[in-house]
A = this chain, B = another copy of it.
Amino acid sequence: MIQASIITIGDELLIGQVIDTNSAWIAQQLNAIGVPVKRRVAVGDTWDAIWEALDEEGKHSDIILITGGLGPTADDITKPLLCKYFNGKMVRDEKVLAHVKHLFEQVFRRPWIERNAQQADVPDTCTVLFNSVGTAPGMMFEKEGKVFISMPGVPFEMQTIMREHVLKLLPERFKMAHIAHRTLLTAGIGESFLAERIKDFEEKLPSNIKLAYLPSYGMVRLRLTDTGYDVDAIEKEINEQFAILQTLIPDVLVTNIDEPMETVVGKLLLSKKQTVGTAESCTGGYIAHLITSHAGSSGYFKGSVVSYDNDVKTDLLGVTNETLQTTGAVSEETVTQMVKGALQQLKTDYAVAVSGIMGPDGGSAEKPVGTVWVAVGNHKKITTQKLWFRYERKRNIELTAINALNLLRKFILENS
């Protein structure tokens, strides 16, 4: 079976200054067209490291996708290296040059400097993959039957070159396998217990189907993967197994699509033509951000009051000073009043409210860091939950948001 390696180039990856999101995106796209990714490698901006990576990945895989190291500045050595590695000489591509000049003059509206013209220089042994949205072109090389494709590291440019060229070229060049994935999301059960419950199912799975457990945010995703050349047979087989799997865990199943919790909630609200708003203290707008990061969320999300300061809790959400003084901002009473305030102010069918201590400071013996109160409700009923997370600030915020959305999901299912 055809396999791919992804090489990402850049010192910033090796000192941890930048998180590599390109590799995940590329891997998703390659899997979708039937190219499994065997390895992902990140190396620095040094000649030897890049050269070795090309040598090694050329042995491991048939398709080697390379990102990064193509910018206009002096820390980029990838292009000259590729020129030498593939025995070429550098030539100026007139179409690319015209495009780069156009971008500077018409789009960026910045003066032209000669350094920019170098973006149009390419090895004469490559096929240029035109970059319609940026200055650095993609380049495709062949060596001993292996295909090497170099793209800029800017995510938007890389993605455009992938969509406009790479994902079309590869299926013409190689015979692709069919890879089918099915993923479901569970909540309220640990990895080990889930494994116990579906042990028999797992043992009886056909050998070409893999089952993976993916824990995230206190939930566990289960993924089946089936690979082969007979598309219909693969699809039939995985659908059958996926249907069986779902019947084994109906009580903890959140969704049988690989989608985030906020999308599950969004679809539920859309189907009922209802709306939600949030009143957020400790999550500081993160729940609203999760919801609105998806197109179409204006169909069910009206807004949020981020009441980080207690004054905002009283002024905008009607939490009483008495409650804040007697039970504190992190309490069942406060989040209950926040839900009532949000329902009234934002004029929604449902509201969710959170207040907690995300750390690293602010905890006490009675309310340690990670203590969170969540409330969800409609105009008739309000449900509350106390949570306790033992992680660092960022993860506590994320876990609070996902758990609040899950509580909202269950509330909608039970009360609509």
* Residue positions of A touching B, CB distance < 8 A: 11-21, 23-29, 31, 36-45, 49, 52-53, 56, 60, 71-75, 108, 110, 113, 115-116, 133, 154-156, 159, 181, 183, 190-196, 202, 210-216, 221, 223, 225, 258, 277-278, 280, 283-289, 291-293, 295-298, 301-309, 311-312, 315-316, 345-347, 358-361, 390-395, 397
**28 A-B pairs in the complex with CB atoms less than 8 angstroms apart:** A11-B225, A13-B23, A13-B27, A14-B27, A14-B36, A15-B28, A15-B225, A16-B37, A17-B28, A20-B23, A39-B41, A40-B41, A52-B60, A71-B213, A72-B191, A73-B213, A75-B212, A286-B292, A289-B289, A292-B306, A296-B361, A297-B308, A301-B308, A301-B309, A303-B309, A304-B308, A305-B316, A311-B347
Beyond known contacts A52-B60, A284-B289: 7 more, CB 8 A cutoff: A17-B221, A74-B202, A115-B192, A288-B308, A292-B308, A302-B309, A312-B346
Verify A223–B298 contact, CB threshold 8 A: no
Please give the count of copies of this chain that the complex contains: 2
Chain B residues closer than 8 Å to A156, beta-carbon distance? 391-392, 395
Name A179's closest neighbour in chain B (CB-CB): B15
Q: Which residues of B lie under 8 Å from residue A71 when comparing CB positions?
A: 191, 213, 215
**A345 CA to B316 CA, complexed, in Å:** 7
Asked if A110 and B303 make an inter-chain contact with CB atoms under 8 angstroms apart, the answer reads no
Q: How far is the CA of A146 from the CA of B384 in the complex (A)?
A: 53
What B residues does A297 contact at CB under 8 A?
A: 284, 308
On chain B, the residues within 8 Å of A360 by CB distance are 295
B295 touches A302 (CB 8 A): no
Indicate whether A291 sits within 8 Å of B284 (C-beta atoms), given known contacts A16-B24, A16-B26, A41-B40.
yes
A289 close to B285 (CB less than 8 A): yes
Q: Is the CB of B293 within 8 A of A394?
A: yes
Nearest to A302 among chain B residues (CB) is: B309
- For the complex formed, measure the closest distance between the CB of A229 and the CB atoms of chain B, giving whole angstroms: 19
Shortest CB-to-CB span from A50 to chain B, Å, is 11
Q: Determine the distance from Cα of A168 to Cα of B407 in the docked complex, in whole angstroms.
A: 41
Among A23, A216, A315, A393, the one with the most B-chain Cβ atoms within 10 Å of its Cβ is A23
Complex formed: what's the CA distance from A11 to B286 in Å? 29
Interface of A is mostly: mixed
In the complex the two chains form, is B14's CB within 8 Å of A19's CB?
no
Do A20 and B17 touch across chains, with their CB atoms under 8 A apart?
no
Chain B residues with Cβ under 8 A from A295's Cβ? 358-361, 393
Instruction: Please indicate the chain B residues that have their CB under 8 angstroms from the CB of A15 in the complex.
Output: 27-28, 31, 37, 181, 225
Whether the pair B191, A73 counts as a contact (CB closer than 8 A) is: yes
Give A249 Cβ to nearest chain B Cβ, in Å: 14
Q: Are A196 and B17 in contact (CB under 8 A)?
A: no
- CB nearest neighbor in B for A13: B40
- A72 proximity list for chain B (CB < 8 A): 191-192, 195
The residue in chain B whose Cβ has the minimal distance to the Cβ of A43 is B39
**Could you say which residues of chain B place their CB within 8 Å of the CB of A214?**
12, 17-18
Report yes or no: A288 in contact with B293, Cβ–Cβ below 8 A: no
The interface centre, meaning the residue of A16, A43, A60, A215 with most chain B CB atoms within 10 A of its CB, is: A16
Chain B residues whose C-beta falls within 8 Å of the C-beta of A13 in the assembled complex: 23-24, 27, 40
